[in-house]
Amino acid sequence: MKLLASVLLFFLAANLSTAYGQVGGWYVELGAGPAFSGDLAQEGFNLDSFCYPGFICCPDLDGCNNNNPNQFSGYRWNYQIPTDPGFAFRVGAGREQGSLRIDLNIRYSARNLQQIFSRIAHLDGSPAPQFDPNSGVQVTTIATIGRLRVASLRINTFLDLLPRDRTFRPYLGMGTGVARAVVTDLYYEERYSCTNQPCIGDLSSYDSLQDEDLADVVLLASGHAGFEYILTEKILAGVRFSYTLLQDFNSQGEYTTHRVENLTNTTTFSKLNLFSTMATIRYRL
């Protein structure tokens, strides 16, 4: 409720801002600059009911799943996702009336991601089986991740804090929109092999592989603070600091290889707090 009240007060102030002057017109704007974000959170789950060789729930490679193939309801896992600095750019068009500006813009940003494993558990949250180092089984796991790419369509309202005739013009803004978020190159590989020969059974049947991009369409909200400097009557240059909050990103993935045929998993990325600092150039038509 407090956030809604703040938004309503902002738009009320913006509508009253024409008291500074009634001169208006159309404009186009470009912006580009570095983009940042804090650590994201990744959570995934599947409905895999099997126990796997090398773990204490599977002491007998011949019969660990034959006698009770539905031991579990599924697995759940978590990663911390640190991010590297990236870049962002936007192109937009709008109209100003007095100290109020409203624009529609397209924005794109990208940043590299990393993965730090946090935990794995059963679907109900109970601890997953521990690995037995004396099992004679070796499990090789590789997990990597690529980039977060966000393409969005936004509508923003900006309110100049000083009259239109001032050369230096600070402003505040708020916006909303829709975004298509993509996490590229999500890769997970798990391979089973024997450390003691001969092996009992074919452990490769327990291997799994997922290698794909995940995408979702989400809503967003943004806040802005910046300033412009009037270079000429038609050209204004400035700097804008922006914060964007995306909805949690959910996507269903598929395994290329898995013991359970046609098994899927669901991945959620949260804590999508994005920041950018842009140099802007605005041209009045």
Tens-digit pLDDT profile for residues 188-245? 999 998 887 767 677 888 999 999 999 999 999 999 999 999 999 999 999 999 999 9
Confidence of residue 70 (pLDDT cuts 50, 70, 90): low
Mean pLDDT of 179-195: 95
Confidence of residue 62 (pLDDT cuts 50, 70, 90): low
* pLDDT > 70 fraction of the chain, expressed in percent and rounded: 86
Out of 49-53, 91-95, 262-266, least confident range = 49-53
Six-digit token pair at 177?
Answer: 């929109």
Better-predicted residue by pLDDT, 221 or 63:
221
pLDDT reading at 22 higher than 80: no
Residue with tokens 């895999």: 48
Better-predicted residue by pLDDT, 54 or 13:
54
CA neighbor of 142 nearest in space, from 117, 112, 111: 117
Six-digit token pair at 197?
Answer: 């020969």
The answer to whether 95 and 101 are in contact (CB under 8 A) is yes
pLDDT reading at 268 higher than 50: yes
Confidence of residue 121 (pLDDT cuts 50, 70, 90): very high
**Among positive and negative, which fits the CA dihedral 121, 124, 126, 130?**
negative
Q: Supply the pLDDT for residue 54.
A: 86
Six-digit token pair at 229?
Answer: 């400097």
Q: Supply the pLDDT for residue 63.
A: 55
pLDDT reading at 19 higher than 50: no
- Amino acid found at 128: A
Q: Supply the pLDDT for residue 202.
A: 76
pLDDT reading at 100 higher than 90: yes
Six-digit token pair at 128?
Answer: 């997953």
Q: Supply the pLDDT for residue 1.
A: 41
**For all residues of the chain together, what is the average pLDDT?**
89
CA neighbor of 105 nearest in space, from 49, 176, 164: 176
* pLDDT > 90 fraction of the chain, expressed in percent and rounded: 68
